[in-house]
Structure 1
Amino acid sequence: MYDPSAIESRWQTWWEENGTNEPDLDAAARPFFNLMMYPYPSAEGLHVGNLYAFTGADIYGRFRRLQGDDVFEPIGYDAFGIHSENHALKVDTHPMELIPSNIRNFERMLRGAGLMTDWSRTVDTTDPCYYKWTQWIFIQLFKAGLAEKKEAAVNWCPKDQTVLANEQVIAGLCERCDTAVEQRMLSQWFFRITDYAQRLLDNLDWIDWSETTKTAQRNWIGRSEGARLHFPLSGAAGAAGGVAGAGEGTEGGGEREGDRIEVFTTRPDTLFGATFMVLAPEHPLVERLTTDERRADVEAYVRAAATVDLVERQKTDDREKTGVFTGGYARNPATGEDIPVWVADYVLMDYGTGAIMAVPGHDQRDFDFARQFGLSIVQVVCSRAALPEGADPAEVGGGEAETAFVEHTADEILVNSGRFSGMAADAGGRAITEWLAGRGLAAAEVNYRLHDWCISRQRYWGPPIPIIYCDDCGPQAVPEEDLPVILPYVEDFRPTATGVSPLARNPAFHAAACPACGADARRETDVSDTFLDSGWYFLRYPSTEFDDRPFDPARMRKWLPVSSYIGGEEHSVLHLLYSRFLTMVLHDLGHLEFEEPYHRFRKHGLLIRDGAKISKSRGNVILPDEYIARFGADTFRMYLMFLGPFQRGGDFRDSGLAGPQRFLKKVWDSVTAAAAAGRTGFGDPGVERALHAGIKQISDDLEALSYNTAVAAAMDYLNTLRAGGRTASIDEVRPLVIMIAPVAPHIAEELWARLGGESSIFDHAEWPAWDESKLVVDEVELPVQVNGRLRATIRVARGAPEDVVREAALAEANVIRRLDGVAIRKVIHVPDRMLNLVVS
Structure 2
Amino acid sequence: VIEGGNTDEAAFTGDGPHFNSGFLDGMGKDEAIKAAIDWLTEHKAGHEKVNYRLRDWIFSRQRYWGEPIPVIHWEDGETTLVPEDELPLRLPKAKDIQTSGGKESPLANLDDWVNVVDENGRKGKRETNTMPQWAGSSWYWLRYMDPHNDKAIASPEKLKYWSPVDLYVGGAEHAVLHLLYARFWHKFLYDLGVVPTKEPFQKLVNQGMILGTNHEKMSKSKGNVINPDDIVDEYGADTLRVYEMFMGPIDAAKPWSTEGIHGAYHWLDRVWRLLIDDNNHLRDRVTTINDGKLDKIYNQTVKIVSDDFSHMRFNVGISQMMVFVNDAYKADSLPIDYMEGFVKLLSPVAPHIAEELWSLLGHDETITYEAWPTYDASKLVENTVQMVVQVNGKVRSHIEIDRDAAQDQVEKAAKQDENVEKYLEGKTIRKVIVIPNKIVNIVVG
TM range (shorter): 0.7 to 0.9
Aligned to 2:316: 709
Cα offset, 1:713, TM superposition: 0.3
The residue that corresponds to 1:543 in the other structure is 146
* Contact 2:215 2:254 (8 Å CA) reproduced: no
Which residue, out of 356, 359, 362, partners 1:750? Answer: 356
Residue type of the alignment partner of 2:349: V
CA distance in 2, matches of 1:428, 1:556: 45
Q: Distance in 1 between matches of 2:205 and 2:395?
A: 54
- 1:561-585 Cα deviation digits (max 9, x unpaired): 3332211121123222212221222
Quote the residue 2:306 is aligned against. Answer: 699
User: In structure 2, what is the equivalent of residue 656 of structure 1?
Assistant: 260
Deviation at 1:681, TM superposition (A): 4.1
Letter in structure 1 aligned against 2:41 = T
- 1:781 pairs with one of 387, 403, 419: 387
C-alpha displacement of 1:412 = 8.8
State whether residues 635 and 744 of structure 1, in contact with CA within 8 Å, keep that contact through their aligned partners in structure 2.
yes
Q: Which amino acid aligns with 1:747?
A: I
Shift of 1:534: 1.7
Secondary structure of 1:446's aligned partner: coil
SS of residue paired to 2:284:
helix
Q: How far off its partner does 1:426 sit?
A: 8.3
Change in CA separation of 1:832 and 1:659 when aligned onto 2, cut-off 3 Å: farther
Q: Is the 1:634–1:747 contact (alpha carbons within 8 Å) kept by the matching residues of 2?
A: yes
Q: 2:250 aligns with which of 617, 631, 646?
A: 646
Q: Are 2:55 and 1:447 aligned?
A: no
Amino acid at match of 1:512: V
User: Taking structure 1 as reference, are residues 444 and 716 closer, same or farther at Cα in structure 2, changes over 3 Å only?
Assistant: same
CA 1:470 to 1:766, structure 2 compared with 1: closer, same or farther past 3 Å? same
Question: What is the SS of the residue equivalent to 2:190?
Answer: helix
The corresponding residue for 1:267 is: none
1:589 corresponds, among 189, 192, 197, to 192
| Structure 1 position 743, deviation (Å) | 0.7
CA contact (8 A) 2:40 2:47 kept: no
Structure-1 separation of matches of 2:415 and 2:147: 65
Report the Cα distance in structure 2 between the residues aligned to 1:413 and 1:772, rounded to whole angstroms. 59
| 1:677 Cα deviation after fit | 4.1
Displacement of 1:546 in angstroms is: 3.8
Q: Report deviation, 1:791.
A: 6.6
Q: Does 1:635 align with 2:242?
A: no
TM-aligned CA distance change 1:446 to 1:503, over 3 Å: same
Q: What is the rounded CA distance, in whole Å, between the counterparts of 2:178 and 2:398 in structure 1? A: 59
Distance 1:581 1:625, change over 3 A: same
CA distance in 1, matches of 2:341, 2:416: 33
* 1:746/1:784 CA distance change after superposition, 3 Å: farther
How does 1:167-566 map onto structure 2 within 5 Å? Answer: 427-436=35-44, 443-470=47-74, 474-488=78-92, 489=94, 491=96, 493-494=98-99, 496=101, 499-513=103-117, 519-566=122-169
Q: Distance in 1 between matches of 2:326 and 2:158?
A: 46
Task: Describe the shift of the 1:428–1:512 C-alpha distance in structure 2 as closer, same or farther (beyond 3 A).
Answer: same
Separation (CA, whole Å) in 2 of partners of 1:492 and 1:698: 51
**In 1, Cα distance between equivalents of 2:254 and 2:115:** 54
* 2:63 and 2:129 in contact (8 A); partners too: yes
Query: Alignment partner for residue 766 of structure 1, among 371, 388, 399?
Result: 371
CA–CA distance in structure 1, aligned partners of residues 262 and 95 of structure 2: 51
Sequence identity, in percent? Answer: 34
Match of 2:193, SS state, is coil
TM-score, normalised by the number of residues in structure 2: 0.73
What is the DSSP-based 3-state SS (H/G/I as helix, E as strand, rest coil) of the residue aligned with 2:303?
A: helix
Please state which structure has a larger fraction of its residues in strand.
1
Q: Distance in 2 between matches of 1:597 and 1:795?
A: 60
CA distance in 2, matches of 1:573, 1:700: 29
Q: What is the CA–CA distance in structure 1 between the aligned matches of 2:418 and 2:153, rounded to whole Å? A: 74
Q: 619, 623, 639: which one pairs with 2:223?
A: 619
Any idea what the Cα deviations from partners look like across 1:305-333, whole Å, max 9, x if unmatched? xxxxxxxxxxxxxxxxxxxxxxxxxxxxx
Given the alignment, which residue of 196, 199, 209 partners 1:606? Answer: 209
Q: Quick one: structure 1 residues 726 and 593, their matched pair in 2 at CA, closer, same or farther if it must change by over 3 Å?
A: same
The 3-state SS of whatever aligns with 1:770 is coil
Greater CA deviation, 631-640 or 658-667? 658-667
**2 CA distance for matches of 1:589 and 1:467?**
22
Is contact 1:501-1:525 (8 Å) kept? yes
Question: Contact 2:388/2:395 (CA < 8 Å) preserved in 1?
Answer: no
Does the C-alpha gap of structure 1 residues 727 and 712 become closer, same or farther in structure 2, counting only changes over 3 Å?
same
Q: 1:831 to 1:742 in 2, by over 3 A?
A: farther
Instruction: Rate the CA distance shift 1:444–1:507 in 2: closer, same or farther, 3 A.
Output: same
Query: Does residue 726 of the first structure (1) align with residue 332 of the second (2)?
Result: yes
- Tell me if the contact between 1:458 and 1:495 (Cα under 8 Å) persists in the aligned partners: no
AA matched with 1:582: W
Distance 1:411 1:784, change over 3 A: closer
1:565 and 1:793, CA in 2 relative to 1: closer, same or farther beyond 3 A?
farther
Contact 1:784 1:835 (8 Å CA) reproduced: no
Q: 1:491 to 1:684 in 2, by over 3 A?
A: closer
Q: Distance in 2 between matches of 1:704 and 1:485?
A: 42
CA distance, structure 1, for counterparts of residue 321 and residue 390 of structure 2? 32
1:429, distance to aligned residue in structure 2 (A): 5.0
CA gap of 1:578–1:665, structure 2 versus 1, over 3 A, is same
Cα separation, 1, equivalents of 2:328 and 2:95: 65
Aligned to 1:207: none
Q: Is the 8 A contact 1:490 1:503 kept in 2?
A: no
Aligned equivalent of 2:291: 683
How far residue 450 of structure 1 moved from its aligned partner, in angstroms, is: 1.2
**Unaligned residue ranges in structure 1 (runs of 5+):** 1-382, 384-409, 415-423, 800-829
1:353-385 per-position Cα deviation (integer Å, ceiling 9, x unaligned)? xxxxxxxxxxxxxxxxxxxxxxxxxxxxxx9xx
Tell me, in whole angstroms, the C-alpha distance in 1 between the residues paired with 2:312 and 2:285: 35
Query: Over residues 261-284 of structure 1, what are the superposed CA-to-partner deviations in whole Å (9 max), with x where a residue is unaligned?
Result: xxxxxxxxxxxxxxxxxxxxxxxx
C-alpha distance in structure 2 between counterparts of 1:747 and 1:834, whole Å: 48
What code does the residue aligned with 2:199 have? E
The answer to whether residue 180 in structure 2 is matched with residue 577 in structure 1 is yes
Q: 1:643 to 1:666 in 2, by over 3 A?
A: same
Q: What is the distance in 2 between the residues matched to 1:831 and 1:770?
A: 34
Partners of 2:111 and 2:255 lie apart in 1 by: 53
Residue type of the alignment partner of 2:168: Y
TM-superposed CA distance for 1:697, in Å, is 0.5
Q: Answer whether contact 1:412 1:425 (CA < 8 A) is retained.
A: no
Aligned twin of 2:347: 741
State the shift of 1:633 in Å. Answer: 1.7
What amino acid is the match of 1:571? H
Query: Which moved further from structure 2: 552-561 or 424-433?
Result: 424-433
**Change in CA separation of 1:449 and 1:490 when aligned onto 2, cut-off 3 Å:** farther
Alpha-carbon displacement from aligned partner over 1:754-804 (angstroms, at most 9, x marks no partner):
2223320112x321111222223452315599xxxx8765586848xxxxx
Q: Give unpaired runs (5+ residues) of structure 2.
A: 2-17, 23-31, 404-412, 421-445
Report the CA distance shift for 1:667/1:508 in structure 2 as closer, same or farther (over 3 A): closer
Does the 8 A contact of 2:389 with 2:397 survive in 1? yes
In the aligned structure 2, how far is the partner of 1:541 from the partner of 1:678?
42
